[in-house]
Structure 1
Amino acid sequence: MMEKLRHYARLVRLDRPIGIYLLLWPTLWALWFAAEGVPDFTILLVFVAGAVLMRSAGCAINDYADRDVDPHVARTKTRPLAAGLITPKEALGVFAVLSLLAFLLALLLNGLTIVLSLVAVLLAATYPFMKRFHHLPQVHLGAAFAWAIPMAFTAVTGVMPPLVAWLLFAAAVLWTTAYDTMYAMCDREDDLKIGVKSTAILFGQHDRVIIGVLQVLTLVLLAVVGWLSARGNWYWLGWAAAVGFSLYQQWLIRRREPLPSLQAFLNNHWLGMCVFVGLAADYAL
């Protein structure tokens, strides 16, 4: 039984929490903007736990969708489902249980947020299959991750999200598309052989330039949100750190090598954290 639980933990990447962080930071941005400071503790707890559950559920359904692909990719062939350590039915079961738990958590929030949570589940469930139909699965992932932003605003305010929320949503979609393209650059050769689609393949030799444009647009939108919200020096200090990390990531992917591209992807955790720390400090001080 313990061995099976360890396989389930690896299935949902509890040993690799980077996805939780990348989902959590925009969620926290939204909660602090919506509440104009520290949000209600229950709402904060629901969203933090929800981020962990939904990212984990997303990993389970992703491995189910890729069960015929992962065994042929060097980076993914040791995953529990690809290695035959668990069954596809078990992976679906894990996804269903985690999604249900996340939905039960959402029931602690207001009715509008509960309705929006259904969209979140739909986005998470459909994302892994998009790489078979079009070259923009990274944008779909961006929408899935960023959907926590309008949910956070409705949870705090009880009304439909304002313009600032949708600008923040757009920034998160662009940011996710940029960093997940860096991640896709690691698998580009394998994906081409297998026939899996990605923005890394679509962008081709223009990948670095397009990632740079996405990064600039993300930073511009974060600046606009900060300006509209009349944020102060601490926010702009966090924003400036995000600019620095974006430049560093461009340096890492300059030769399009798999390992540095993965490092650039991972570095986005620090970018998201700096924006949040600057925002939280600005409201606090």
Structure 2
Amino acid sequence: MISSTVPTTLLEQEAGQPLIERLPRGIRPTPAGAAPAGRGQAIRRELRAAQSDPDSFTALDQGTLRLGAFPTASASVLPLALTRFRRRHTGIRIEVRAGVLAELRDMLHTGEVEQGLLWHYEWNRLDDPALSLTHLLDDPTVLVVPADSPPRTHPSVRLGDLADHEWIIRADNHPVADVLRRSCRRAGFEPRSAYSSHDYQEAQAMVAAGLGIALAPRPALTSRRSEARRLPFASDVPAPTRRILLTRATARPATPPAQAMARVLRTVAQRFTAPGLHRAQLGAVRRG
């Protein structure tokens, strides 16, 4: 509705036609006048919506969260966190990019992902001033052996006692292959490779078949074969521990969805590292 206080004669002169119809009691817009009035109402609605959008994002009612993760995290910690997050914040769309360490760092630097699950060992620490790092959990290396092998009778194993064994080694210069070589050399021997695997399920299958033994990060073994078992290393010569980190670009403040995901990941990480965690407890984490 065009207000009677508006200088309609000037508007009508510019439009070249009547915009309002004067009645004995008030006015009403002509069809030509109703069109811009409708557009004005639409503009006001868009402005009100734009003003409410920040509140919606803050309340986690809408938005997109882009995450990056390395494969072991994508198969263990991250699915539990995603289940919890999506149950609480149904309006947030989540995109996940998988990659190796160098790829994930590039994604964080370029903004392709807002948060990333990365890792480092003591000898290759992730010292990058452009990234903000939050320690989520320590990921100890464990020994994977056939279920009927002699080491099964011991609660823990000294790596130096395994010099005569054949090893299932990760292929393509995988980080866990570096862990194995460093650990064995510190124990005084070079590992002999019986098979080069491309993922942990393949490595477990070769161990279960009796071809050799292997090292693996503990979260990589959430899906275990009954023919293989895992053993910790003796505390006097512990195996290297990988640190899993939640990262973001330092120059970009965390959005409310990213802050909420960080809280969920910290909670899941605490339960994931609880002593004696097994499949039943993992199920409880998924349901929690």
Query: The TM-score by the shorter chain falls in which range?
Result: under 0.3
Answer 1 or 2: which has greater helix percent: 1
- TM-score, normalising length from structure 2? 0.26
Answer 1 or 2: which has greater strand percent: 2
Higher radius of gyration, 1 or 2: 2
Higher relative contact order (CA 8 A, sep 6+): 2
